Chain A
Amino acid sequence: MQLLKPRSFRFSWVDTFLWAIRIGALVFIVVGVLGTVSKAVDGEGLTAQAWRELVVTGLAQGSMYGLIALGYSMVYGVLGFINFAHGEVFMSGAVTGFFAANALADAGVWDSQPIVGLGVTILVSMATSMLVAVLIERLAYRPLRGAPRLIPLITSIGMSFFVQYTFRGLFGESFKSYPVLPTVMQGRISLLGIEILKTQLVVIIVAAVAMAGLYTYVTRTRMGRAMRAIAEDREIAALMGVNVDRVIALTFAVGGAMAGVAGVLWALLFRQVYFLTGFLPGIKAFTAAVLGGIGNMAGAYVGGLALGLFESLGPLLVLDGWDIPSVSQLKDVVAFSALVLILIFRPTGLLGERLAVEERG
């Protein structure tokens, strides 16, 4: 952990600058919020219902980010590098899920048995994402064990483009629209006095279930224990009889499966997928992982939810208070600024980083 603390107590101008950023950011946010509040008092802003909807939208998107972030976090835990290609793992699930959903819709299952239809789609998507993740690990990362740490990172950037354009080559570059949702899942439902979209509810529930399943798996099973052991110390784990290569492959598989679930959830929220779908959610999910504390599984989920909320509320709550026009364009700016600010304010993330071996550099 040493690297994350200031190494000396000299108060250089860099610290001054960073403090200036911290204070400036706080002032910016507070003034923005006050501006929005004063607007609301004047009766100009959004209605209470609209705010509630924004919160739910944020939670739904956030749970999706959280699921993808798990993959980043787990891989970072065992291998200590950012698997940049994880966004593509997510995309591969989303795109193949489309073909499954289409076939199911043609067969009528999608409408008559929505739960079965959704379940099968998710399974197909999970399987593809798992396969892609494991293949990536086998082909590109395994030969690089022990290489200087920027090398796997650059490899993963290459892998990301390779997978993207392979999918473009395979399935074309058009947008693929998932079939229209069964009527049961359309419209809104009233929950605790809040009207929310049913799809968003489904997304939140499915993500929470997947997360709970994963958590149980990692904390309760032998393989889960092996995974944690490797994250703790790879060499010692190997000495204790853990098959390191297999467990690492398994980590990729599990992370991939979660990304596959997220792929279908993305389709529920946005309907359309194509070969570049993975890029932005991938980076956002990485942001979420850092936000929650990378290497920390619960942190990934919490970070995802937090990022989703920042993204949906941030523009309207903070930027609107400054009278910036068309704030929704700046959604991604809010997300990335959140990343920069979190790393300045609290580099170990919300729940703290859990990395056993701190590597150099």
Chain B
Amino acid sequence: MAVSEAPPVDRRKVLRAGLLGGLGFVFVSTIGMVETFSTKNVIDPILSLGYTVLMSIAVWTGYRGAKAAAVDREARAAERILSGAAAGLVGGLVGAIYVVWINTFVVREVLSNISPRLIELLNFGGGMGSGITLAIVGGLVGGAVGALLSLASPLMRRALIGAFLWVLIVGFLEVVISQILRELHLGFIVGLAIPSVAALVLGRFLQRGPALVFGLLAAVALGIYSAINLESVGLSMTFLIDFLYESRVGGRALTTPAAAVIFVLAFVLVVVTERPRKRARARIAAMDPEERQRWLFGGVAVFLGLGIFLPMLLGSVVNELLATTGIFLLMGLGLNIVIGYAGLLDLGYVAFFAVGAYTTAILTSPLSKVSFDWGFIATPLNFWEAMPFVIVAAAIAGIIVGTPVIRMRGDYLAIVTLGFGEIARILFLSDWLSGTTGGAQGISRIPSIPLGFTEIKGTDQQMIFYAVFFFVLIAAYISWRLQDSRIGRSWMAMREDEQVAETMGVNIVRAKLQAFVIGAIIASFSGAVFAVKFGTIFPASFSLIVSITVLVVIIVGGMGNIPGVAVGALVMIGVLGGRNSPGLLREFEGFKLLIYGALLILMMLKRPEGLLPSRRRARELHQDEALQDVWLRAAAAGEHDEDGS
């Protein structure tokens, strides 16, 4: 065995990891995160979210510290653990100093979140002594655990982290999971399973078009049938709820045994499914396009079934959350066309959303001052009659914003569109237009959506979700069809290099305007449903934050990829919460934008293609573009020199 001369432990790296960890500890404590998060129990008596954050910091510190030791795993295990623990210790010492500081001085005048409650939390109930001890010991132990984690094989590591995350997820999703378990009945399972299987089987024999229609019809028919007939045959799941969760003052949280069971289950599941998953992935990669399409299509059928049946199981709280998520998902799909496909960074996207909402409100509300009567159509219109006007208004807005910026470079475009967004909001707010837009009071009494046999009321969250879902399907279909169409390919060429694309015959003006107009129309759908959902709209609902939130949604999810946008919307809006609506984690409310910002930075640094990237986009971002850029810059510099001489 040739043991090479192992490089010594890089002490500076260990120290840096430790200091960073310590700073992280100080940061999350000082900005009030620990205190707020401590109100959320994850595992009933033992662990609150606040302590989870602190613990993760310690483990992460140890993990980073361990990486400073020699690379050779087997030979240097002890060294790794030691350097991990050392990093944890450094972090713990920083934490201890911080604990002493907040115990000794009253700094609340300036740093408003260092409250007595925080001090109590960091002292772990005891006095300053116990706080110091626990900070140091916690850092040390956490660091060692992190180091052990770095020693484990990648599979082990993934399984451990995965299991831990699953515990967190089941803990966080308490509301959703217990609601589903309570309402679950056979009808749902049958209603979901039969059409999915039918669609998959039929897909083997039929063209995808007819199969899709058939799957859909089967889904609806069977679903309704089973929902009516099998409801009485409930699967009593309440025992599971009692096992999983426990009510406490700070909200319901996982019980300790449940947490242990979930941890073990998830761990085993990750380990056991490792090989089948690998095989499945290989098989998907080897599939021919037609087969892949068929599977994709089965996936779509399942998604449809879920979209139709899941809301029936959920209460109004979760349905409202889903509806909000859908509204942002819809905007995300639109912005995905503008940024993800065409590469135009539009920071004023909320303007189109506002145009949709205001047009709907002005035309449908009985309180609106705008009125006309053209014989065949007269105000107040209903939702569907207003829709053509909304689309036209959005298209015009798209052209108004799009045309001046056609000749602008990427970053100028960003700022100018941002300016347009603000102009729109201020104009809606101003006294000047208040005759039409209602000024700061906005427009109220926006009626519900008539459906002939029934209507979609803004207060009926389930129906609103269906309305959103309907438009999401339209937008997803449009995006999907456009992706590989002639327009889609010219957008992609333009995103890559505008000049080359133009030289190759892409009509840049048309391509850009198409992107703006289609994006604007999709956003206006979202705005229209938004107006109905709330019944009243104010200019304050259309601030820049909305644009930024949508941007975060598509960047975190994966630009240029439809499922990616959906994942982004679910994670960002459903869990963290959108503007004006708390997500599942209400404790995040005050830190939402902080986390949005941090996520944007982290994603850009580590994974600019997003969680679920489009394959092409990921490739672009990772190597080709970087290489190309260097090359082009060199070429441009050379050209400049020639110009200058």
Contacts and interface: CB of A to CB of B under 8 A. Distances in A.
A51 interface: no
A212 interface: no
A333 B426 contact: yes
Contacts of A233: 637
16 contacts: A18-B403, A144-B604, A150-B411, A153-B345, A153-B410, A155-B600, A157-B597, A158-B596, A159-B601, A162-B594, A168-B594, A170-B30, A329-B426, A332-B426, A336-B423, A343-B408
Contacts of B621: 148, 151
Interface in B466-508: 497-499, 502
A146 B432 contact: no
B419 A361 contact: no
A166 interface: yes
Nearest to B512: A14
Contact of B414 (A7, A82, A151, A324): A82
A343 B404 contact: yes
Interface string A282-293: 010011001000
Contacts of A165: 31, 591, 593-594, 597
Interface string A334-361: 0011011001100100000000111111
B189 to A, nearest CB: 42
A358 B415 contact: no
B581 interface: no
Interface residues of B, number: 67
Given A166-B31, A340-B416, A359-B633, A157 B548 contact: yes
Interface stretch (B4-12, B571-579, B622-630): B622-630
Contacts of B599: 158
Contact of A81 (B411, B555, B608): B411
B597 A159 contact: yes
Given A99-B110, A161-B548, A169-B33, A343 B604 contact: no
B31 A358 contact: no
Nearest to B111: A170
Contacts of B89: none
Given A18-B404, A21-B404, A155 B605 contact: yes
A327 to B, nearest CB: 8
Given A150-B343, A154-B604, A330 B636 contact: no
Contacts of B634: 235
A172 interface: yes
A139 B20 CA distance: 12
A326 interface: yes
A325 B600 contact: no
Contacts of A12: 509
B604 A325 contact: no
Determine the main DSSP class of A at the interface with B.
Answer: helix
Given A165-B597, A344-B404, 6 more contacts: A6-B407, A159-B597, A159-B600, A169-B33, A290-B412, A357-B636
Given A162-B594, A343-B408, A357-B640, A140 B601 contact: yes
A158 B415 contact: no
B226 interface: no
Q: Which of A12, A163, A356, A361 has the most CB of B within 10 A?
A: A361
Contacts of B497: 360-361
Nearest to B547: A157
Interface majority SS on B: helix, strand, loop or mixed? Answer: helix
Contacts of B555: 154
Nearest to B403: A17
A121 interface: no
A287 to B, nearest CB: 8
B645 interface: no
A304 to B, nearest CB: 16
B32 interface: yes
Given A147-B608, A329-B429, A361 B409 contact: yes
| For the complex of A and B, 3 pairs with smallest distance between CB atoms | A169-B31, A158-B600, A161-B597
Interface string A135-150: 0000110011011111
A160 interface: yes
A3 interface: yes
A146 B593 contact: no
Interface of B: 27, 30-33, 110-113, 343, 345, 347, 403-404, 406-412, 414-416, 418-420, 422-423, 426-427, 429-432, 497-499, 502, 509, 548, 551-552, 555, 591, 593-594, 596-601, 604-605, 608, 621, 625-626, 629-630, 632-634, 636-637, 640
Contacts of B409: 3, 361
A81 B345 CA distance: 13
Nearest to A326: B431
A268 B432 CA distance: 31
A164 interface: yes
Nearest to B409: A3
A340 B637 contact: no
B597 A358 contact: no
Contacts of B431: 325-326, 329
B594 A166 contact: yes
Most buried by B among A18, A143, A161, A340: A161
A162 B404 contact: no
Contacts of B548: 157, 161
Interface string A165-184: 11011111000000000000
Nearest to B641: A233
Contact of A161 (B347, B594, B605): B594
A336 B421 CA distance: 10
A157 B418 CA distance: 12
B113 A172 contact: yes
B427 A360 contact: no
B419 A340 contact: yes
A314 to B, nearest CB: 13
Nearest to B621: A148
Given A155-B600, A170-B113, A14 B423 contact: no
Given A144-B604, A165-B594, A169-B594, A360 B419 contact: no
A104 to B, nearest CB: 14
A163 B429 CA distance: 28
B497 to A, nearest CB: 6
A283 B426 CA distance: 15
B598 A158 contact: yes
Contacts of B429: 329
B32 A169 contact: yes
Contacts of A336: 419-420, 422-423
B44 to A, nearest CB: 28
A149 B625 contact: no
A324 B432 contact: yes
Nearest to B544: A279
Contact of B640 (A81, A283, A325, A358): A358
A8 to B, nearest CB: 9
A139 B499 CA distance: 33
B491 to A, nearest CB: 14
Contacts of A324: 432
Nearest to A330: B430
Contacts of B27: 166
Contact of B597 (A3, A21, A158): A158
B416 A144 contact: no
Contacts of A7: 499, 502
B419 A339 contact: yes
Nearest to A336: B419
A159 to B, nearest CB: 6
A18 B418 CA distance: 19
A170 to B, nearest CB: 6
Interface string A210-237: 0000000000000000000000010110
B182 to A, nearest CB: 37
Contacts of B415: 82, 283, 286-287, 290, 339
A282 to B, nearest CB: 11
B502 A150 contact: no
A358 B499 CA distance: 13
A14 B410 contact: no
A158 B596 CA distance: 7
A235 B637 contact: yes
